[in-house]
Amino acid sequence: MPELPEVETICQALKPALEGHSFQKIQLNRPDLRYPIPYDLESKLAHQSINLVRRRAKYLLVDFSHDLTLIWHLGMSGRVIIEDKGLSLKPSLHDHVVFTTSGNQRIIYRDPRRFGFLRLSSTHQLNEIAPFNTLGAEALDDPHLNGCTFHQCLTRRKISLKSALLDQKVIAGVGNIYASEALWQAKLSPFRLTNTLTLAEAERLLKALQDVLRRAIAVGGSTLRDHIHPNGDIGYFQHELKAYNCEHKLCAHCQSTYLCKTMQNGRATYYCKICQQ
């Protein structure tokens, strides 16, 4: 699924198509995704001006001028497709929602596994409802996040570093790819317990995580299965992955150990047994 860099890429692509426009039509091709789609989505949103498209963690947020925010999560396999004007793409069985904008563009939400969802919230109360009321610091560009606060947040718990990075209450936006990448880059074991981390190690991890995320955003995220830029381009960061999907490849740090893959809390984890301690 889209993690932070992929959702950010989608967010940036949606901005020019949506901000200052409105939805003329919202076509629901099924009543539910992970949860029921609000039945009154179209009547509440159509012809209302869109102020802002933004991202929080892995959520896309579309703010309307009448204090409504469309919360849009893409689950594991969700894709957003912005059609060129006048062009009509071949429909897919999994095109669940089709938005038509006042700019006469069609925006298609395609999600084979349907782990994604759409919800509505009052804009000014968004941070008081789940999951936004418990989300951790934004992994990038959060003024309250630094090595010190990250260290405090980690040492308060006793879970593996990999689980901590995936826990959206600890830090928001990180998923399985970038958790493995950041731990590899920081030379920290995914099995290391959070309460054993020194301040210097927490700083190193945060720096590595932010570096990986920024580099991924710069090239449009990672295209492994489903993620494609809404205009049809693919992301390129999969070519720069040093750990994720790299089992049996030589570790780029030590050049002498093959990376291994293990299941950790039900998710694949990739790491170097020698470099990551």
Partner DNA sequence: ATTATACCCTGAGTGC
Partner DNA sequence: TGCACTCAGGGTATAA
Q: Give the binding site for DNA (CB under 7 A).
A: 1-3, 6, 34, 57-58, 73, 75-77, 93-94, 112-115, 130-131, 157-160, 163, 166, 168, 175-177, 221-227, 235, 263, 265-268
Pick 29 or 51: Cβ nearer DNA: 29
**Is 56 labeled as catalytic in the residue annotation?**
no
Tell the smallest beta-carbon distance from residue 181 to DNA (Å). 11
Tell the smallest beta-carbon distance from residue 126 to DNA (Å). 13
Distance CA 241, CA 215 (A): 11
Choosing from 58, 106, 110, 192, the catalytic residue is 58
Instruction: Provide the residue count of the chain.
Output: 277
Distance CA 121, CA 72 (A): 11
Token code pair at residue 277: 């301690």
Q: Are strands 68-73 and 59-64 parallel, antiparallel or unpaired?
A: antiparallel
Pick 161 or 208: Cβ nearer DNA: 161
Pick 21 or 94: Cβ nearer DNA: 94
Tell the smallest beta-carbon distance from residue 244 to DNA (Å). 7
Beta strands per DSSP E along the chain: 23-28, 50-56, 59-64, 68-73, 79-82, 95-101, 106-110, 117-122, 137-138, 171-172, 260-264, 267-271
**Is 215 labeled as catalytic in the residue annotation?**
no
Pick 260 or 268: Cβ nearer DNA: 268
**Is 247 labeled as catalytic in the residue annotation?**
no
Q: Are strands 68-73 and 171-172 parallel, antiparallel or unpaired?
A: unpaired
**Is 201 labeled as catalytic in the residue annotation?**
no
Token code pair at residue 182: 């950041």
Tell the smallest beta-carbon distance from residue 20 to DNA (Å). 28
Distance CA 237, CA 260 (A): 20
Residues carrying an active site annotation = 2-3, 58, 267
